[in-house]
Structures are given as structure tokens and as C-alpha cells.
Amino acid sequence: MFRTAISALAILAATAIPAIADWPEKPIKLIVPFGAGGGSDQMARNIQVGIQENDYLPQPINVVNVTGHFSIGSRQAKDAKADGYTFLQIHMALMGGEGSGAIDFGWRDFEHVAAVGEFCVIPVVRNDIGIKSYSELVEKAKAEPKSLLFGANLGAINHMSGIALSEATGKPEFRYVQIGGSTANFTALTGKQIHLSTMGVSEILKFHLMPDGSVNPDSPLLPLAYAGPERVSALPDLPTLRELGYEIDFCVSNWIFAPKGTPREAVEGMAAAIEKATQTEKMSEWFASRNVNNIVRTGDELEAYLTGVWEVIEPVAKIAAAQK
């Protein structure tokens, strides 16, 4: 009887986490639950090229874009066979969806492979509204609650970053309006439809500065602070929020996940290949050109990092849901 029970448990374990002798033996699918050409897609395709050009894996990686709400492609990855041949590239939007109740699954329903790259956000205001510093922004929004229109893609990174920054800097009250991503918000700022938003460093360089680093005289933007742990070299005069006395960073990374139960050989093999790819000269230059920090987290460091992000995003997502 005892041996029978042990045998049954062994069969169950083998069914839950299949063994892989020589991974990978066929092409790998990397699902990107966003359209082609965006930041997530660019990251995925650079990882794809970095791995394949250097033969870090003996099989090709096929990037598959799934359009529509990010939950569609994410669910496809979650429900895929856990055989080591399907992966997902996602970011904190997954936590936002889970925390707000918009989706019924989340980051803990996957095996965690790696977190790749990192950029931190910059709160920006329109330069003609009389606000010249982050402290002035806070004072204005507290004195006149919801008078300032914050351009966002509701439920996405710029929306969550706005709420997180507000919660950590005295709770100034903004009125969040649906605009879209950084390009759409730049257009809305130019057209005087909104007063502020958050953007990444690459968007500031694109929209606000001239090629020689001077301020574009036609830019409607005024960057107020950097929500990272230290000043960014491309904008040396821009203080961090921490320098201004606010204890917060808000930084975004791309996450590679796999279906729950994916064998360790595949998880660790993919993580190792990604880490090697990010250290190539070509991919290092790509990170630098977009002012994205070339950071890769795997293993225990990754688990601690994701837990920390969830501790920030869960309450922010609940606030975002309550504001709808």
C-alpha cells in the first residue's frame, strides 16, 4: 500500500511538471499581448534577435503579437501547455488588472522567468500653466482638487504611476482622463486638452529636447522630476523625487513568464539565454539608445522584485478601480 501511494504521487508529480531531457527540441513561442511596434514588442524582438544571432538556444523564438486587451494574450499563455515552448512577455499591467479586479488571474499564476530592462517615469506638466516644480504641482492639486487634468491610458502604466506618485507625495488630487500612451498625451498637451501626465525618458528626449540636448522651444512640456533612484544621465538637471523629499520610485520592467508547471529546465534555460542576449553589444546599444537600464533579474532576486512591485501596485490598482 505504501509503495502504491508513493508511485501514485510520483505519477502525479510527473504529470504536473513534465521532465525535459534536451530542451528546446522545437521552436519556442513568445506571446506579446500588444500590437507590433510598441515598446513591449520591440523588447521581445530584440531578445529574439539577441538569442538567435548568437546561438544561445538551438531553436528559434517566434514572437506572436496578440492584439486587443492585454488579458487576451496573457490568458492564452497562462492556459497553454506547460511544456517549455510557450512564454509570455508582460509588465505591471498584469498586476494592475488583477489588483483592480478587471481580470480573474494574475502574476502568481505563472512561472517567473526574468525581468528585463527598466525605465522610470517622469511627471510632466504643460509649460504654460504656471507650475514650475513638483512641489508647486502638489500645492495646486491639493488647493484645487481635481482641477488639473491628468492624461492617461486608464488602468495602464501612466495611470497607475500617477496614482502611485500622488499617494506618496501628499495625495494631490488629479482628474484622470482617457487619452492613451505617451504620443497621444504629448498631442493632448500640445492641444491644451490636459495639464499633465507621466512619460519615460525616451519620450522626453523625443518630444522635449533637440538633438544637441537643448530644450526644443516648441515643446509644450516641462519635466518636473525623475521617479528613479538616481538622476538619469540624459537629463542631469532633473532632480529625483527622493531628492525633493518624496520616498518613491516608479520604474517599469518587462517580464518573461511561462505557464504554471513549466519545467525548471525550460524556465532556467530561457532565463540564461535572455541574460546572455542582454549583454551583447547590439542589445546593450539598443538599451542605451532608449535610455532603458540594462537590468536583468532572475531566480530569487526576481521573486523578491515581483513581490515588491505587487505591494506597490495592488493598492494603486484598487484606487484606480474605485475612481471609475
Helix, strand and coil percent figures for the chain, each rounded to 5: 45, 20, 35
Q: Give yes or no for a contact between 157 and 122, defined as CB atoms under 8 angstroms apart.
A: no
Opening angle at CA 92, ends 255 and 208, nearest 5: 100
CATH code for position 299: 3.40.190.150
Write out the three cell numbers for 100.
483592480
**First-residue to last-residue Cα distance in the chain:** 58
Residue 246 pLDDT class (50, 70, 90 cuts): very high
Question: Which residues are CB-neighbours of 119 under 8 A, at least 6 positions away?
Answer: 200, 201, 202, 251, 252, 290, 291, 292, 293
Residue 24: predicted pLDDT: 97
Tell me the three cell numbers of residue 287.
Answer: 538599451
Mean pLDDT, residues 272-288 taken together:
95
So what's the pLDDT on residue 21?
A: 59
Q: What is the CATH number of the domain that holds 130?
A: 3.40.190.10
What would the grid cell of residue 78 be? Answer: 497562462
Backbone angles phi, psi at 193, to 5 degrees: -90, -25
129 and 73 in one domain? no
Q: Answer yes or no: is 244 within a domain.
A: no
Q: Are residues 257 and 219 in the same domain?
A: no
**How do residues 9-21 score in pLDDT, each as one tens digit?**
444 444 444 455 5
The pLDDT confidence band at residue 320, using thresholds 50, 70 and 90, is confident
Per-residue DSSP letter, 123: E
Q: Is residue 41 part of a domain?
A: yes
Residue among 217, 214, 218, 235 nearest 226 (CA): 235
Is the predicted pLDDT of residue 227 greater than 50, yes or no?
Answer: yes
Domain that holds residue 49: 27-118+251-323
Across the chain, mean pLDDT equals 90
Q: Could you read off the pLDDT of 128-175 as tens digits, one per residue?
A: 999 999 999 999 999 999 999 999 988 788 899 999 999 999 999 999
Calpha distance 87→77 (Å, rounded)? 6
- 43 part of a folded domain: yes
pLDDT of residue 156: 82
pLDDT at 206: 85
The whole-model pTM stands at: 0.82
Interval 32-68: pLDDT, tens: 998 888 888 999 999 999 999 999 999 999 999 998 8
- Residue 239 has which C-alpha cell? 532632480
**Between these two residues, 275 and 206, which has the higher pLDDT value?**
275
Q: Which residue, 8, 22, 32, 97, is CA-closest to 257?
A: 32
3-state secondary structure of 317: helix
Residue 144 sits in the same domain as residue 99: no
User: Please, are residues 224 and 134 in contact by the beta-carbon 8 Å criterion?
Assistant: yes
**Is 70 exceeded by the pLDDT of residue 207?**
yes
**Number of domains making up the chain:** 2
E-assigned strand segments in the chain: 28-32, 61-65, 86-90, 110-120, 122-126, 149-152, 175-178, 196-199, 221-223, 251-259, 293-297
Based on the fold, state whether residues 107 and 192 are members of the same structural domain: no
Cα 307 to chain center, whole Å? 14
* 212 occurs within a structural domain: yes
